[in-house]
Structure 1
Amino acid sequence: MGKPDADGPGLPDLPPEWGRVVVPDDASALAAEAEQVRRELRRGGRASGRQPTLALPLLVLLVAVLTTLAGLVAVSWPRSSRTYVPATPAPYAPPAGLTGRSLPALDLVDAGQSPVPLRGLLPAMIILVDGCACPSQVAEAATAAPTGVTLITVAGDRAVAAPPAPGAAAVRPLADPAGGLRAFLHLPARPGSATALLVDRSGVLVKVVPEIRSAEDYRADLARLGS
């Protein structure tokens, strides 16, 4: 059946404490020993408290399911609906103390970029059109201006041609590239609106209209400029 390892040529040296090892000619003769080894391994696994090898795949599957559910809850969770309502800009008022102050000696420029001393055009109603050309409001002011009062439109970067105003006073279009008037007033240009200044012949600021809405905003003060 089998022969000891010591009698067989070519076998490696085995530890002497193993004793005499016999290698069978038929592998089926080892079935009983193999079954005994498997039983001992199973008993050892149960004694050590090890779980079956399916525990790890089940844990990974559980984590994947929980992650998917959390994502679905985050997407479908009802959110508070907020409707954005743009704020309506409130009319702004000129800084206190402007009325009664002397207009600074500024040089504006005409369409040919020639300097024009502002004080040489007084008394005047000055309309700042850097935020809006506002032709209808300029024409209305030209109609209301009394004789002897200059109506001036002032653009921010270039001279703006005045709209035709038949039967009304002439309009002098100028520009203020340096922004001297806005700096003096501390009033920023607002899109869609024009600002008016009424200045008497001595250079004193009589009235400031931050946003012209109608001729009634300045009519009485404009009439007094010509007296």
Structure 2
Amino acid sequence: MGTPGNSEGSPEFGGQPDGLPDLPPGWGPIVIPDDPAELAAEAALIRRELRQQTRRATWRRRLGLGRTGSLTAVRLTLLIMPLALIAALGSLFAVVWPGQQRQPAAPRTSTGGSPGRTLPALDLVDSFAAPVALRGLLPAVILLTDTCACGDQVTAVAMTAPTGVTVIVVTSGRSRPSPLPSPPPVVGAPIRALADPAAELRGFIQVEGRPGAATAVLVDRSGEIVRILPALGSPTDYQLDLPELTRR
């Protein structure tokens, strides 16, 4: 049991001394226990709440949290730097790991003389060292034979080419053309042997020659390149393209 407190303000009835304010009315009746041990449970609860508040304040102070809950710039930097370092080390490890082999880059292919482009106005040289306008012989199948004699390939093209198409045999790096293949075809498209001393045509199409095979450039009457065959093979490889040379 406890003794009820007196809020009349008189010291003789247990109230407050004169000159001191009374307790707030909202507190209600105040009972002072005879045995202080009766307040042990409430005291333990209050101490636990104070310890929790103390721990929260300690951690907030260690993490640099202000009253508004935002990280200070220094603390934020210290938190981000270890994460960035771990990510960088992980990327470096993945690159140098022996099991990881980088794929070789695909070779770049030039499109200087690719199909759809227009053949430039080049002057080649005939057997008399006279200039010949290449575009004056169109439509044509131009065979670059600087890597082979290619007699059989020249004959096969001449026998396959339709009427009105000229077969031009070009030798690069010479002042005069090489002799025509022997024996020449009895029937078929006319063959012109020309030389390209500066190898301008090879430089324009930007296709390297392959040993033992001619490079074929199919050009229609307007000068547009229809197809380029880096290594000429069987006539079946270009037969379907030949009619296109005279239709444009």
TM class by shorter chain equals: 0.5 to 0.7
Work out the CA distance in 2 between the residues paired with 1:134 and 1:167: 18
Does the aligned pair in 1 maintain the 2:210–2:230 contact within 8 Å? no
Pick the aligned partner of 1:162 from 180, 190, 210: 180
Structure 1 match to 2:238? 218
Does the aligned pair in 1 maintain the 2:221–2:246 contact within 8 Å? no
Structure 1 stretches of 4+ moved >3 Å: 92-97
Cα pair distance change 1:93/1:137, threshold 3 Å: farther
Aligned Cα RMSD in Å?
1.8
Structure 2 length as normaliser, TM-score? 0.52
Structure 1 match to 2:229? 209
Work out the CA distance in 1 between the residues paired with 2:227 and 2:145: 17
Pick the aligned partner of 2:161 from 139, 145, 153: 145
Does the aligned pair in 1 maintain the 2:164–2:189 contact within 8 Å? no
Does the aligned pair in 2 maintain the 1:94–1:208 contact within 8 Å? no
| SS at structure 2 position matched to 1:226 | helix
| SS at structure 2 position matched to 1:104 | coil
Work out the CA distance in 2 between the residues paired with 1:130 and 1:143: 21
| SS at structure 2 position matched to 1:220 | helix
Structure 1 match to 2:21? none
Work out the CA distance in 2 between the residues paired with 1:189 and 1:176: 14
The letter for the 2-side match of 1:154 is V
Alignment of 1:188-203 (within 5 A): 188-203=208-223
Does the aligned pair in 2 maintain the 1:93–1:210 contact within 8 Å? no
Does the aligned pair in 2 maintain the 1:110–1:175 contact within 8 Å? yes
Per-residue CA deviations over 1:76-99 (Å, capped at 9, x if unaligned) read: xxxxxxxxxxxxxxxx99734611
Q: CA deviation at 1:129?
A: 0.5
Cα pair distance change 1:93/1:117, threshold 3 Å: farther
| SS at structure 2 position matched to 1:136 | helix
Work out the CA distance in 1 between the residues paired with 2:235 and 2:228: 13
Structure 2 match to 1:122? 138
Work out the CA distance in 1 between the residues paired with 2:201 and 2:230: 13
Work out the CA distance in 2 between the residues paired with 1:218 and 1:94: 22
How many corresponding residue pairs?
136
Structure 1 match to 2:66? none
Q: CA deviation at 1:153?
A: 0.3
Structure 2 match to 1:131? 147
Work out the CA distance in 1 between the residues paired with 2:201 and 2:160: 23
Cα pair distance change 1:201/1:221, threshold 3 Å: same
Does the aligned pair in 2 maintain the 1:128–1:154 contact within 8 Å? yes
The letter for the 1-side match of 2:120 is P
- Is there any run of 5+ residues in structure 1 with no aligned partner, and where? 1-91
Structure 1 length as normaliser, TM-score? 0.57
Q: CA deviation at 1:146?
A: 0.6
